[in-house]
Amino acid sequence: MTHTLSTRRYGRWLPAALVAAAMVSASAQTKIALDPNKYSVQDDVQLGREASVEAKKQLPMLNDARVDDYVEDIGDKLVAAIPAEFRHAGFEYTFDVVNQKEINAFALPGGPMFLNRGMIESAKTEGEMASVMAHEISHVALRHGTAQATKGQKFQIGAVAGQILGAIVGGAAGSVIAQGSQFGLGAYFMKYGREYERQADLLGSQIMARAGYNPREMASMFKTIAGEGGRSGPEWLSSHPDPGNRAAAIEKEASTLRVQGNANTGQFQSVKARLNGMSPAYTAEQIANGQARTTTRPVGTAERVVNVSAPSTRYRTYTPTNFLRISVPDNWEQLDTGDGVTYAPEGGFFEENGATAFTHGVQIGVAQGGSGNLQRDTEQLLQTFARGNPELRQAGNARRETIGGRTGLTIPLTNVSEVTGQQEAVYLSTAHLRDGSVLYLIGVTPRQEAATYDRAFRQVRQSMQIADR
């Protein structure tokens, strides 16, 4: 199973990241308040989900595991740094890369974000790219879409997706996509006024500092993309009106903030080189004319034959983090995969071109929760997994069981291994940590070996000891 089955790369255990974010000094930073909003938080979530589905149907998704994971990793750090007063139960922040040339990015109400390949390629540093994401996250967290709609016409949630898509793609191409939909509605959700742009700049700067990025790179990014837009300017800037003295305002705000550590992954240049080696991205005109296609992830192209030893009946105990102990067969080794910890037998773990995969064993990680409902948080986690694993399917009902002394869920799944090209059995187990995040364990084995591994997976789950405070 590829590393993309794991949730977005958290790198560090999430509780520690949240603690670091909470340490930022906020004494001098600009105070920002939510505007009046007659729409419910659930309206934001529903609107974002429906428009996101339409976006993925009509826009060419890049679907490159390395690039997607990289963007998701940065996005997760930024989301973890959103101040508590701007967190909304039910918001689902997701991050996708669109294989589009134009410099653009957008985030929908409720959390779905789409970043054009052209935006990544135009950035000079990881911090510059992160600044665009922090700005868009701020629009979502401040609920600017529905707050702006509050001041204007009423709308029907289910009727806005086409108009939003028109605003997303922009220009003449956007007009084609939006044709026949409710006139002007997309502007409420994609094109904000100067005051909302000012707020997104300021909150975005604060989020960057809390996450470990220098907020001054936001000012730098505006200069970078303005210089690449030609006479008409990039689409992202044309839909984000300059609130005036933008760079100076960001520099002033940055002087009040303390950057928490260094979030830079060191992967930016290698990701840009990977993009440069791909076929050219589609233009907005090609998308509007139906000439663009979403890239399909290759499944099973390697078709390797994998032979590993059966799970040992003797177990070894590990402490992958200070709040967790786990016992696994003693012929499995511990591997830090960046997005969690994997325990796999010799011959069952692969690493090529920066990507990791395992065909046998278990992976443990932590994902952001937020709803307080384990079933709902687990379903959200599954949706994230499915984005990188198009063959992932639920194979039975979720069952309640005790995991680490807490109420947990285990769901049987099936997938197609990108290593062997064969069907594999997957077991996802989840339990809440004290801070509301989700501890997950994924067990993977070829389907024909499921009976052999089922007992080992069950014993691993029963061995877990959670001691977070």
How far apart are the C-alpha atoms of 288 and 309, rounded to whole Å? 52
The model's confidence at residue 354, banded by pLDDT at 50, 70 and 90, is low
Q: How far apart are CA 157 and CA 46, in angstroms?
A: 7
Contact 185, 160 (CB under 8 A): yes
| pLDDT at residue 13 tops 70 | no
- E strands along 331-437, which residues? 332-336, 341-345, 349-352, 355-358, 361-367, 393-394, 399-403, 406-416, 423-432
pLDDT at 428: 95
Amino acid at 280: P
**326 versus 356: which is more confidently predicted?**
326
Write the pLDDT tens digit of every residue in 130-151: 999 999 999 999 998 888 878 7
The closest alpha carbon to 235, from 176, 173, 278, 180, belongs to 173
Domains contained in the chain, CATH given: 32-288 (no CATH), 315-466 (3.40.1000.10)
Q: Residue 145's closest CA among 191, 177, 181, 112?
A: 191
The reported pLDDT for the residue numbered 355 is 67
pLDDT tens track for 361-390: 999 988 877 788 999 999 888 888 887 777
Least confidently predicted of 50-64, 82-96, 159-173, 214-228: 159-173
